Amino acid sequence: MDKKEFEALNTLKYLEGIKGRHTELVSVYIPAGFSLDIIRNHLSDERNTASNIKDRNNRKNVITALDKVINELKLIGQTPPNGLVIFCGNVSDKEGEPDIRLWSMEPPERSDIRIYRCDQQFVTQPLKDMFSKTNVYGLLVMDNREATIGLLDGSSISVLKRIKSLVPGKFSKGGQSAMRFTREREGLIRDFYKEIGEAMKDLLSDRGIAGLIIGGPGPAKDNFVEGGFLPSTFKVLGVRNVGDTDQNGLDELIEKSKDILVNVRRLEERDYVQKLLGSIAKNDRMSVYGESETKAELEADNVDTLLISEGLDEQRKNDLYYIGNERGAKVEIISLNSGDGLQLYNLGGVAALLKRPSKG
């Protein structure tokens, strides 16, 4: 996570905590390429309308906030390449003693969102989603007896549905003819595959997935993919051999799909933490963990990568981030959504991979 993203997310978290006494908090989202003149004219009209607000303090705060936003747009002059988002309003918790502040940000990606809203809270979620955006992948592990449908979103794996089939084993019991048994079994397999395809359509179609990764212990996964049981809108990114068809199978599927999931945060976090744990196990002095030990290496300019757990309180997390950034270290915030993340948290929530062996 770079400094710009870290500071933006911290600002958004602060803005989320602000609650207006009235509808006095102004949020303005301007799409990329959109004329600031049009936005200024719109806000001038809204300013005139705000003069009708009955409550005197609210009226004054809204008009002052809109004036600030209009002046900010004049200073900016031209919409930035990715668009523009402005938040402005009274952040004071004392009635009658306003403190009107303004925040202006360029989205991290080209935005087509246009919003104007006066409310008791700022509209932060659209911008937060842009900064936190990660590729989302649909997952499936299956054989002819059961299937597990999952979702990989950043570093988080979730199980969406488990399905059991009615398909019997390969050999008939009793006097049923082998040919009839085979036909009935193949029919049940097709029905099962259809059920999986329909479930994936229902569960994944509206999630904006980048594609599907499918695995399993035998040929069923290949037969399912090649048999046309998936909607044509789904893109299969890869098929892998894995040993299980449950949560363990999903974990193994991700591990075996590194070539596909090159940008998935979960794998990055795993690599960092596993490198740390490997260093600790070898006692090669190329890593440290714990706050005091890590700060000592930062002071010695000996930190290559600083690992900070998402589970730390905000003040400690921020302090460590800025110390690491000032010392030129690569800073990584590690989530709590995986076993690797929990291991870092249990080591004190902060650790470092070093440039040279520690003298401590």
What is the residue-wise DSSP string for 87-115? EEEE--SSTT---EEEEEE--SS-----E
Least Cα distance to 291 among 274, 311, 307 occurs for: 307
Domain hosting residue 158, numbered range: 136-255
Give the Cα separation of 289 and 305 in Å (integer).
Answer: 12
Look up residue 317 and give its amino acid. Answer: K
> Is the same domain home to 33 and 107?
yes
Residue 119 in domain: yes
Residues of the chain with pLDDT under 70: 1-2, 132-134, 171-176, 262-263
What 3-state DSSP class applies to 179? Answer: helix
215 — alpha (psi -120 to 50), left (phi > 0) or beta?
beta
Residue 318 in domain: yes
Which of 224, 255, 286 terminates a domain? The answer is 255
Longest dimension (CA), the chain: 89
pTM listed for this prediction: 0.67
> Is the same domain home to 20 and 72?
yes
> Is the same domain home to 342 and 246?
no
Whether 199 contacts 163, CB under 8 Å:
yes
Which of 84, 116, 131 terminates a domain? The answer is 131
Phi and psi at residue 271, to the nearest 5°: -60, -45
Q: How many structural domains comprise the chain?
A: 3
Q: Which residues of 111-137 are buried (b: 16+ CB within 10 A; e: fewer)?
A: bebeebebeebbbbeebbebbeeebbb
Which of 131, 156, 183 terminates a domain? The answer is 131
pLDDT at position 1, please?
62
> Is the same domain home to 308 and 283?
yes
> Is the same domain home to 108 and 64?
yes
Task: Give per-residue pLDDT as tens, 110-165.
Answer: 899 999 999 999 999 999 888 866 678 999 999 999 999 999 987 788 999 999 99
Torsion of CA 55, 59, 65, 67, to 10 degrees: 180
> Is the same domain home to 53 and 112?
yes
pLDDT at position 257, please?
93
> Is the same domain home to 148 and 125?
no
pLDDT at position 113, please?
93
Residue 359 in domain: no
pLDDT at position 130, please?
84
